[in-house]
Structure 1
Amino acid sequence: MAVETCTCGRTVDGGNPNLRFTLPDPVLELPEKEQTPGTWMSHGAARESVMMQVPGAGPFVRVLLPIQLDQGHTLTYGAWLAISPDDLQRTFAIWWEPEYADLRLEGLLANAIQPWGLLSTPVTATIRNPDETPYLTASPDPLMTKVLTETWPHADVVG
């Protein structure tokens, strides 16, 4: 399964669900997925990794995509952002350093987010809290901008 509930114990139909994509969609399309020879991951497994580079798919960094839901709830996706190899090197170099607080990444969303799709949508990720993964905060795409800024009916998004 591409999307899993978080280890926080919340369920998908709970008030503030969290969903974490294990792999970027382009990696899921590869025959050997993250086991592709030459794959590098920041941690021992894809589920725990915050960065990866997979031959035939590219470099990725984990990001958070909060979706504001009605009734004051938020659905947060742990998704992947496709970035350049240079940005992966830069991100890795500062991930645990004070400079991480100023990290800004431009890339393409590497997971489809339902009900909108949005795979390969250009987005910007920035740091809201230096102890957290980067958040998607802006996009030149009108639909992604709406997803980032508007409140959505819980039933339409979580189902």
Structure 2
Amino acid sequence: MAGRAAVLPAVRLLLAVLWAGSLWALGYVAAPTVFGMLGTGQAGDVVGALLARQAWIAIVCAVLLLGLARFAPDLDAKRRRSLVIVIAAMLACALAVYLGLQPAMAHLRELAGPAGVRASPYWTQFAVMHGVSQLLHLVESALGVVLVLKSR
């Protein structure tokens, strides 16, 4: 039982780093690179697909981390509660983007047609959604720092 108790914090930390690292790599390395190399339409498609995959990483990591936090013998009640709050907040950000903003933005891009969303009457609505999406990504990635620190 002592061996298992020592492994659980390490697994918790690994999952936290995976989740946070995927956010940082996608948001601050991959997405800007893709937008710098491809046209806006193509880049949006590529980054949208990467964001969908990253959302699934978030969902899986959140479920596993919540399970590990619930049964972690090394966490007192206060630390467990704060860890769960961070996980829930990060998951809420991910789900808001994945289930709400991304589909709505894709719909606006589709409505805009081949001329692109910038040339359409949907540009303002799209830009607002994109800004909110970026803000949620920033919040989630900042919370990722807290998650890594609290998962140790």
Q: Give the TM-score, by structure 2 length.
A: 0.23
Structure 1 or 2: more helix by fraction: 2
Q: Rg: which structure is higher?
A: 2
Structure 1 or 2: more strand by fraction: 1
Q: Give the TM-score, by structure 1 length.
A: 0.23
Larger RCO: 1 or 2 (CA < 8 Å, sep 6+)? 2
